[in-house]
Each structure stands twice: as structure tokens, then as C-alpha cells.
Amino acid sequence: MMISSEEESVFDKLHEECGVFALYGHPEAANLVYLGLYALQHRGQESAGIASSDGRKIHSLRNMGHVADIFTPDVLNQLPGELAIGHTRYSTAGETSLKNAQPLSVACNKGQVAVAHNGNLTNAIELRRELEEDGSIFQSTSDTEVILHLVARSRERTLSGALRDALLQIEGAFSLVFLAQDRIIVARDPHGFRPLAMGRLELPDGREATVFASETCAFDLIGATYVNDVEPGEMVIVGPEGTTRERYTPPQVRAHCVFEHVYFSRPDSIVFGKPVAQSREMMGRLLAREHPADADVVVPVPDSGVASAIGYAAESGIPYRQALIRNHYVGRTFIEPSQAIRDFGVKLKLNPVRHLLEGRRVVLVDDSIVRGTTSRKIVRMVRNAGAREVHLRISGPPTVSPCYYGVDTPSQRELIAANNTVEEIRQFVEADSLAYLSLESLSKAVDDANDNFCYACYTGRYPTLVQIGEIVMAKTGCC
């Protein structure tokens, strides 16, 4: 089933990768949210924003670019108060503009409210159409704005009541953090697609601040302790009267995004209660068992392949070598040479260590092949640096279906594995051999004995109905 650009046009983005952070009860709330976002920068590099409350008024600042460039001391001084939320956003397709940057805020009959969202709503098109027919005027093309309209229009009198009302109408993936004048409210969708961790931070005066983040690496930076996850279908309210945790809807079949463990989250985070580095290393070990290679060195594609390459090397006994060096300072814009230089883009990011590769049979480990174009350039780079053989090993199954729950994947027609056999992909990327981790091993690596993860990008079986324009895809086996 193909999705035309026309069908995608109501919202700019169907796939939006983001990080969220929230904090209640610290005199330097905006400063700490800034640090939290800094640690979550890998989840979105296009825009960032912070909204804080001084108890009477919400102050908000959003801009395009990286967290550290946007939030200078002067900017942070404009965000007073003891409670704040923040967001980093990344999008590739469609319009990328400031009006879609988050937190989004409104003033309505429930007071001022700001929201930051990680995930994608799968019924946003239908809800937006209904709201527009009823007279709502939208400022952005982001699905998150639908939530604010639902809150504003709710007949419930309190903000938490209106939020509950809104949460019961939206479907898909959402880890949400809301800021009101005197409280933080967070919520997670009933399937638990995207992560949302809760932590606490002790203040020097003995008080305790409460924090929430997409990933626990954000807690580490500010010295907060990870307590547990916001549960799927749970809403947590932190305000002057303390903290309340409640289920706003009964739990449903769990569908934690397995790609958070494969690629998206930082390895130093605990996601869905499990250390990411641990599951990635296990993916590498199982990959080595399933698909051994007669080779001299194991080389990761940095940074995504590092932890699984360590696992592959440990399991196979083949030495691990960092033979591709990544330049971490490549910005979004750079001056390109006026004359075409072959594979310029990938050379900006990666450079081979020739003496580690020359004459060697190399196992190259990465987490995924999406379109195949970058992988081909990297295989060529390794071969041009003198490798005798290049055996590509992928620490997840073939990516055959787009994600509708918040990971940026191209349409199915652009996914090389959706349209080619493994042998055809091997030929395209010009590797001597190519093998992927099996679904069973991936599930084992993330300890998914109870079937709590979503594998839709690898199987095309979506755990919820997915609505794209007029097309409603079935719960399983669509596309």
C-alpha cells in the first residue's frame, strides 16, 4: 500500500523524532531543562524549546537549531520559575519551520498550557478535520496541536480532567509533558510506544525536585536518580499538593519501540527498564552466532554500530578495531566544494584508519540499512582503504515497513529491504557478504519474553490501526 504525498499533506510530518524533558520544584528549572535537552540532543537536532512557569505566567522560547546554540545565558534568564518543560525536534520531510517547534502553548479557559510531545498520533488527520469543521483554527502543521485543541474544547472544568478527555480521543504514540501555571502533568499512551522515565533530584536545602525525560542519560547529567517509568496509560500530576499517579485508561497490549534499543536511544540510557548498551551488545553476540564470518577484524560503523560490534567481537573472538573515525562536529550546513567530490557527504562524517584495514578481511557492523545509499558508500570507503573483504552484518532484521509511531523512516518504496532480497541488497551495497539479525534473536536481546515490543518496521504488523489520509491500515499485515 503506497502513501502519496497528497495524503501526507495535512501534516508535514508523519515521522518525527523527538526528546522531551520536564521538571518540577527547582529554582533553576529552565537551566536544568536546558541541560536535560542537551543530553537528549541526539533525539532531534532541528529545533528546541523550553517553557517555564513562574507560578503566574508561562514563558516560552523556541528556535531552530541545536540546544546549546539557542539557549544562551541571556535566553535562559527570560525563562524564570521552578517548573519547566522542554523539547528537541527533528524532522526531515515536509516543511521544517519554527511554527512546528515545541513546546506549543495556548491560553484557554483552563489557563495557560504548554505541551511537548514525543511520538506520532495515528488519528490526527481525522481529529483535525473534525476540529476544523467545528471552527478550530490551527497555527501549525504538527499533530501535537490537535491535543491542545481537544484540551481547550473539553467540557471538563479542570485541566487534568480536560487532559484525560483529550488523551482518550487520541491514538498512536505519545509521551507527553504538559506545563500549567502551577503544575506539571505527563502522560504516556496505553501501548507505551515511546519511553518516558521519571526521576528525582535532591536539592541542597533537602527539598526534592521531580523530573521526567525520554531517556535516563538526561538524569545523569543533572545528578537526578531514575525512579521508574511512567506506565503505559498512566498520567502523573506533580503540583503544590504533591504527586499523584493514575491510570487514565486501562492498559492495552504493550508495544515498546524496539528501534529505541537498536538505534535511537543513547547506549548509556536505561530505556523501558533495560540498559540500551546491554541489549545492543547482546544483539551483536547473537548476530555473531547466527552469522559468523571468516575475518580478521570487527569494525563498527560509528556511533550506531559500536555496542553491537563489541558484542560481535566478544562472541566471535575476532579483534575489535575502531577503523572508521567519526567527526562529531558536522553541522547541518557546511560549504560544499564547487566541483563534485565523490561521496563527499559520507567523507565529512567518517574517515577510515587505513593501516587497520589494509589487506584485512573486515566484518563491518551497523544497526540498519534503510535506503542502502549510505551503507554502500561506507562499504566502498572500507574497501578503498585497502580491505580485502567486507562482510556487512546488521544488528536488526531488514527494515521493510515505515514507522507511524515517531521514528523517521522513508516510505516503503524507498526502503531497500521492502523491495529487494538480501542477495540483491548485498549486490547494491557491494559487500562480499551480508546478513541481518533474526527477529527471534532481536526479541531475545531486548528480553522480550512477554511480547511487549513493537517490531512493525521489521514485520509490517502494526499494533494499532494506522490512518493515513483516507487509508486506514489494518492492525496487522498491512502494506
Active site residues: 18
Nearest residue (CB) to ligand AMP, 106 versus 348 = 348
Q: What is the DSSP letter of 264?
A: I
Interaction residues for ligand AMP, span 368-387 (CB under 6 A): 368-375
Q: What is the 3 state secondary structure string of 180-220? A: CCCCEEEEECCCCCCCCEEEEEECCCCCEEEEEECCCHHHH
CA distance 23 to 213: 9
Nearest residue (CB) to ligand AMP, 245 versus 347 = 347
Asked if residue 407 binds ligand AMP (CB under 6 A), the reply is yes
**Nearest-approach distance from CB 452 to ligand AMP, in angstroms:** 21
155-174 mask for ligand AMP (x: CB under 6 A)?
--------------------
Contacting range for ligand AMP; rule: CB under 6 A; set: 58-66, 169-177, 364-372, 450-458: 364-372
Asked if residue 143 binds ligand AMP (CB under 6 A), the reply is no
β-bridge partners, 208: 202
Nearest residue (CB) to ligand AMP, 11 versus 259 = 259
**Nearest-approach distance from CB 375 to ligand AMP, in angstroms:** 3
Element (H, E) at 362: strand 361-366
**Nearest-approach distance from CB 73 to ligand AMP, in angstroms:** 32
Asked if residue 401 binds ligand AMP (CB under 6 A), the reply is no
Given 24, 34, 193, 263, the residue binding ligand AMP (CB under 6 A): 263
Cell representation of residue 188: 504516556
206-245 mask for ligand AMP (x: CB under 6 A)?
----------------------------------------
**Nearest-approach distance from CB 366 to ligand AMP, in angstroms:** 5
- The helix/strand count (H/E) of the chain reads as 18, 25
Asked if residue 366 binds ligand AMP (CB under 6 A), the reply is yes
Given 167, 301, 309, 310, the residue binding ligand AMP (CB under 6 A): 301
Contacting range for ligand AMP; rule: CB under 6 A; set: 179-187, 278-286, 315-323, 404-412: 404-412
Asked if residue 46 binds ligand AMP (CB under 6 A), the reply is no
Cell representation of residue 293: 564470518
Q: Are 401 and 343 in contact (CB under 8 A)?
A: no
Given 189, 260, 296, 408, the residue binding ligand AMP (CB under 6 A): 408
Q: How many residues bind ligand AMP (CB under 6 A)?
A: 16
CA distance 65 to 89: 9
Taking the chain, what is the end-to-end CA distance rounded to the nearest angstrom? 4
Alpha-carbon dihedral angle through residues 378, 380, 386, 392, given to the nearest 10 degrees: 60
β-bridge partners, 89: 18, 47
Nearest residue (CB) to ligand AMP, 145 versus 366 = 366
Given 46, 143, 281, 367, the residue binding ligand AMP (CB under 6 A): 367
**Nearest-approach distance from CB 141 to ligand AMP, in angstroms:** 21
Nearest residue (CB) to ligand AMP, 408 versus 448 = 408
Cell representation of residue 20: 522531551
Nearest residue (CB) to ligand AMP, 65 versus 410 = 410
β-bridge partners, 47: 64, 89
Long-range pairs, 459-465, Cβ under 8 A, ≥24: 459/400, 459/401, 460/400, 460/401, 462/401, 462/404, 463/191, 463/253, 463/255, 464/122, 464/171, 464/172, 464/191, 464/255, 465/122, 465/123, 465/171
Q: What is the DSSP letter of 75?
A: H
Q: Rounded to the nearest 5°, which phi and psi values hold at 382? A: -65, -40
**Nearest-approach distance from CB 145 to ligand AMP, in angstroms:** 24
**Nearest-approach distance from CB 256 to ligand AMP, in angstroms:** 17
- Cβ-based neighbour number of residue 117 at 10 Å: 29
Nearest residue (CB) to ligand AMP, 182 versus 303 = 303
Asked if residue 102 binds ligand AMP (CB under 6 A), the reply is no
Asked if residue 195 binds ligand AMP (CB under 6 A), the reply is no
CA dist 221 → 23, 32, 417 (Å): 14, 9, 38
CA distance 187 to 341: 48
Nearest residue (CB) to ligand AMP, 82 versus 367 = 367
**Nearest-approach distance from CB 303 to ligand AMP, in angstroms:** 9
Which residues of this chain interact with ligand AMP, rule CB under 6 A? 263, 301, 304, 366-375, 407-409
